[in-house]
Amino acid sequence: MTKQVRQAGIMTAVLTAVFLLFMILVKFVDMQPIGPMNSMVGFAAVNGFFQKLIGTSNIFYLLSKLCGAICILTAVLFAGIGGMQLYERKSLMKVDKNILAMGFIFLLVIIFYVLFDKIVINYRPVLEDGALEASFPSTHTMLACTIMGCALIECREVVTRKTTLKYIEIFCWVMIGLTIVTRFLSGVHWFTDIIGGILLSAALVSLYYMAVLYFRPKKKKKAAQKTAPAVSVN
């Protein structure tokens, strides 16, 4: 295990711990009945301030949905690449390790998406079809930031043209920024929900980066062996 891999592992552990600590604080600090139907909300002073400041917006809500759809299409693109490799190479173990690692991260995203729909830390500041709905973390934010963050890292590994890579990087960062901003301004989440989504996605992206670093030396070693000149023995 290289130094870079260890550092990425430490960063992943730190980000995970920060998210868990933040989740605990949201659950227990400054709990007040400021939500719909007098539902209890953590960090009530902060969340209440931002909620009154921005209100709700159907336009930003629809824009956040659009951003989420684009991010999901990006994930489908990488899934398609993995599927093509599997079909052509006839073995899951021959699929690029980075793609397999990305698939694992996306599986974790789905698991967290379902899990936090059942675990209630905070309820949303708005009713969904007249009912309370779990709000922390913003899984929409988590999903978009994780997908685009992983896509950014993978493209830096495989895209060699600097101009093309520059446009890809801009696209990924714009999608991350737009998703965070539009989801927040839509008013369907508390401020701390957005922060929670960012923290969880940062931990997942860091985990993927650690996997990329772990596989990178092996790929370089194999490439060097393939390109090495044959040595004749007289």
Question: What integer pLDDT is reported at residue 217 of this predicted model?
Answer: 61
Question: What integer pLDDT is reported at residue 93 of this predicted model?
Answer: 85
pTM over the 0.75 mark = yes
Question: What integer pLDDT is reported at residue 143 of this predicted model?
Answer: 95
Instruction: Single out the residue of 27, 25, 19, 21 nearest to residue 134, CA to CA.
Output: 27
Can you read off the two tokens belonging to residue 47?
């969340």
List, as one string, the DSSP characters of 156-203. HHH---HHHHHHHHHHHHHHHHHHHHHHHHHTSS-HHHHHHHHHHHHH
Question: What integer pLDDT is reported at residue 218 of this predicted model?
Answer: 54
Question: What integer pLDDT is reported at residue 224 of this predicted model?
Answer: 41
CB 41 within 8 A of CB 31: yes
Question: What integer pLDDT is reported at residue 11 of this predicted model?
Answer: 95
Instruction: Single out the residue of 166, 205, 233, 195 nearest to residue 71, CA to CA.
Output: 205
Question: What integer pLDDT is reported at residue 3 of this predicted model?
Answer: 85
- Residue 187 pairs in a beta bridge with none
From the number of C-beta atoms within 10 Å of its C-beta (0-12, 13-18, 19+), residue 23 rates as: buried
Per-residue model confidence as pLDDT tens for the chain (234 residues): 788 889 999 999 999 999 999 999 999 999 999 989 999 999 999 999 999 999 999 999 999 999 999 999 999 999 999 999 988 988 888 889 999 999 999 999 999 999 998 888 999 999 887 888 989 999 999 999 999 999 999 999 989 899 999 999 999 999 999 999 999 999 999 999 999 999 999 999 999 999 999 988 654 544 444 444 443 433
Can you read off the two tokens belonging to residue 160?
């060699």
Question: What integer pLDDT is reported at residue 13 of this predicted model?
Answer: 96
